[in-house]
Chains A and B, each alone.
Chain A
C-alpha cells in the first residue's frame, strides 16, 4: 500500500523476540515526525535488528486508522509480541515508552 512504509533493522539477532510496530502518523506534522524519530531511536538502541516498523499515514489511508481503532495521531501499536499495546503521543518520554513496550520493568 502506498501510504505504508516499512523499515527493518539492519542486523538480525536471533536471541530475542522480534518486534512489529504499526505507527499511525499524520503526514509530516510536528508530533508525527517526532514520534517517527523517537521510535526509530528507541528501536535502534534497545532492539536493534529485531524490529519492523509499519508506518501508516492517516492522511492517505484513514480507513486503516479507523479499522485499528486509532482516534488520534501519532498512535503506536505494538503488534508483536502479544499482547498488543497501544501508545498515544509523540513518544518523547523514553522511559514510559520502554515500560509500556515491556522493554524495561515498570519502574525502569
Chain B
C-alpha cells in the first residue's frame, strides 16, 4: 500500500480549520478578529444585549401607548354615549311631542318632522355603534366570552360571512386588561378577514390547554404572505403582535391560498385568568349563529 497522501489532503485540512473557525464564530466565542494591520473587536454578546434592551424598551412603550389609547377610547365612548346619546334622545322625544301637537291639516310639517325623526333615530344608532366600537360596553358588563360571541354574531350580520365562536372556558373570570387585549386582537383579525381575506367562513376559538390560553382566528380565504406578516406597514398585525407580547404570549400568523389564514395566539393562563380557571367539555360555548 502506498504511503503517499491523496492530493486533496491539504484541502481537507484547510476545510477542518475553516469549520473550527465557523464554529467559534457561530457560538460567539470570539472576542476579536485579527487582520494584517489591525484588530477588530467583536462584541456580539454586548450588541445582542443592547438590542434586547432596546427591544424591551420599545415593547414597554408600545404597551403603554396601547393602554393610553384604550383609556382614551373608553372616555370618548362614554362621552359619546352620555352627551350625544342623551341629547339625541331628547331631540327625538321633542320631535314626537311636536308631531302629536300637529293637526291633520299641517301635513307638510308632519312629513318634515317624520323625516327629522328618522334621521335622529339613525344618528342615535350611529352614535351607539361608534361608542360600542370604541369600547364595547358588553365587555365590562358581561365579560369577554359573551363579547366575543356578540362580536362573531355582529361580524356575520355585517359581512354575511359565516362566523363561529367556540371556547372551553366559558365560566372563567378574565383579567380586565387581558380581556381588552384579547378582544382587540379578535376585532383586528376579523377586520383583516373582512377587508383582505376574500373568505366565506371564519372561526374564532379560545381554548384552555394545560396552563395556556390558545386563541385562534381562521378563515377559508386567500391566505397571507410572509412578507405581509412581517411588514412594518401591517399596523393591524403589529398591534396584535404587540398586545400578545405584552401579555407574555406568542403570536403566529400564517396561511396559504388553499388553507386560508390562521392566527394563533398563546398566552400563559396566569396572565389572563383571575382565580382558578375551570374547563370541561360541558362548558364549551358555541356561537348560536353557527350552523
Residues of A within 8 A of B (CB): 24-26, 29-32, 58-59, 62, 65-66, 70-74, 86, 88-90, 92
Cβ A25 vs Cβ B31 within 8 A: yes
Cβ B30 vs Cβ A73 within 8 A: yes
Cβ B39 vs Cβ A26 within 8 A: yes
CA–CA, A50 and B40, complex, Å: 34
By beta carbon, the residue of chain A nearest B25 is A72
A26-B39, A58-B39 known; A88+B21 contact, CB < 8 A = yes
Q: Kindly provide the distance from the CB of B41 to the nearest chain A CB, expressed in whole angstroms.
A: 6
A26-B41, A59-B39, A89-B27 known; A70+B34 contact, CB < 8 A = yes
| Interface hits, B70-91 → A, CB 8 Å | none
Residues of B within 8 A of A (CB): 17, 20-21, 23-25, 27-39, 41-43, 45
Cβ B24 vs Cβ A26 within 8 A: no
Cβ A71 vs Cβ B29 within 8 A: no
CA–CA, A89 and B29, complex, Å: 5
Cβ A88 vs Cβ B31 within 8 A: no
Cβ B27 vs Cβ A29 within 8 A: no
Q: Kindly provide the distance from the CB of B180 to the nearest chain A CB, expressed in whole angstroms.
A: 43
CA–CA, A51 and B30, complex, Å: 25
CA–CA, A62 and B17, complex, Å: 21
Cβ B36 vs Cβ A32 within 8 A: no
CA–CA, A88 and B20, complex, Å: 7
Of A32, A62, A73, A74, most buried by chain B (CB within 10 Å of CB) is: A73
